[in-house]
Amino acid sequence: MDTTDDAEQQGVERELAELRARMAKHLDAALAPLAEIADPVKRERAARILADDLLPDTVKRVKGVRGDAVRELRQTLTLAAIKERTGLSTARIDQIAKGR
């Protein structure tokens, strides 16, 4: 790997770290209302709503985003190229594309 590849990889890692930090901030904001609920019974119910209703729905939505992205990549790239760029196995790429 030459210095151009190293610099590019560092740029990608920096972008991912920034994205991760932004998403963590949004998740913290989603969790903050739970801490504001004084009544422990109500707080537990609210946490249950988040865990049982909202998070599973979010996971489904994220799977859709991943599937769309992989299918978009498949329009112009080979499985080998997608594997190289994403670090995913060929089998996993196929699974994600199929919504699994």
For 26-80, the pLDDT digits (tens) are: 999 989 999 999 999 999 999 999 999 999 999 999 999 999 999 999 999 999 9
Distance (Å, whole) CA 42 – CA 47: 9
Read off the pTM.
0.71
CA torsion, ordered 72, 74, 76, 80, to nearest 10 deg: 140
> Which residues contact residue 74 at a Cβ distance below 8 angstroms, ignoring those fewer than 6 apart?
82, 97
Average pLDDT over residues 6-16: 87
Distance (Å, whole) CA 30 – CA 28: 5
- Residue pair 34/43 in contact (Cβ under 8 Å)? The answer is yes
Average pLDDT over residues 11-35: 93
